[in-house]
């Protein structure tokens, strides 16, 4: 029992120091209770990113308003765990409410605008043709790198390996090819 009283007294002292802006006291409390708070939040929300956010918010509340912990109401540990638990439950409730709203929202059937569909298809065809023409206008080694990157989804490292080129060469060809394409598109838009 004496050990617990000593720990509680130490925690109260650390909270008082936090109230004075002592960052090291804050770090001490975080090191001591952070893992415990994270474990509690994880049991409630079962989502790692949300768990970390909840713990961060609870400790941030301590840093911003250390007076929200009231010594006469109990131990710091109980206060912190209560804060974490409430925030975790609130997060679960928000998620549940969001899920219910999204399930109850009826998706209205929107009749497609045939005219817009024709315009979209026509514009896509025009853009494809513009891209093909522009690609045909750049040097073959630049075109090859761009095609491998954008049409086959390969990384510059993979392209360098496949073509037996230094990575810097692939990067240069990519940059030069993109600049050339940009200038070709700008020229064509000015003409149009």
**Secondary structure (3-state) at 158:** helix
Element (H, E) at 57: helix 48-64
30-44, 93-107, 126-140, 166-180, range with the lowest pLDDT? 93-107
Q: What is the distance between the alpha carbons of residues 126 and 119, in angstroms, rounded to a whole number? A: 10
12 token code pair:
């109260």
Residues in the chain: 192
Average pLDDT over residues 87-98: 89
Question: Does the predicted TM-score (pTM) go above 0.85?
Answer: no
Cβ–Cβ under 8 Å, residues 17 and 76: no
| DSSP reduced 3-state for 184 | helix
| Structural domains in the chain, sorted by start | 2-103 (1.10.1740.10), 131-191 (1.10.10.10)
Average pLDDT, the chain: 85
Residue 59 has pLDDT above 90, yes or no: yes
Please write the tens of the pLDDT for every residue from 116-141.
Answer: 777 777 778 777 787 788 888 899 99
For a pLDDT cut of 70, what percent of the chain falls above it?
90
């Amino acid at each position: 029992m004496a050990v617990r009283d000593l720990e509680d007294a130490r925690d109260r002292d650390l909270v008082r120091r936090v109230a004075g802006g002592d960052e090291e006291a804050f770090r001490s409390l975080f090191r001591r209770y952070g893992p415990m708070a994270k474990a509690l939040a994880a049991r409630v929300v079962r989502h790692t990113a949300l768990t970390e956010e909840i713990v961060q918010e609870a400790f941030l509340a301590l840093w911003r308003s250390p007076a929200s912990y009231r010594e006469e109401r109990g131990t710091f540990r109980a206060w912190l765990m209560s804060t974490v638990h409430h925030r975790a439950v609130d997060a679960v409730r928000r998620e549940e409410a969001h899920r219910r709203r999204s399930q109850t929202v009826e998706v209205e059937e929107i009749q497609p605008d045939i005219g817009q569909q024709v315009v979209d298809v026509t514009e896509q065809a025009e853009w494809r043709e513009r891209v093909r023409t522009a690609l045909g206008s750049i040097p073959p080694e630049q075109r090859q790198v761009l095609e491998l990157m954008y049409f086959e989804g390969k990384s510059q490292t993979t392209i360098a390996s496949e073509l037996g080129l230094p990575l810097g060469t692939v990067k240069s060809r990519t940059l030069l090819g993109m600049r050339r394409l940009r200038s070709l598109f700008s020229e064509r838009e000015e003409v149009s």
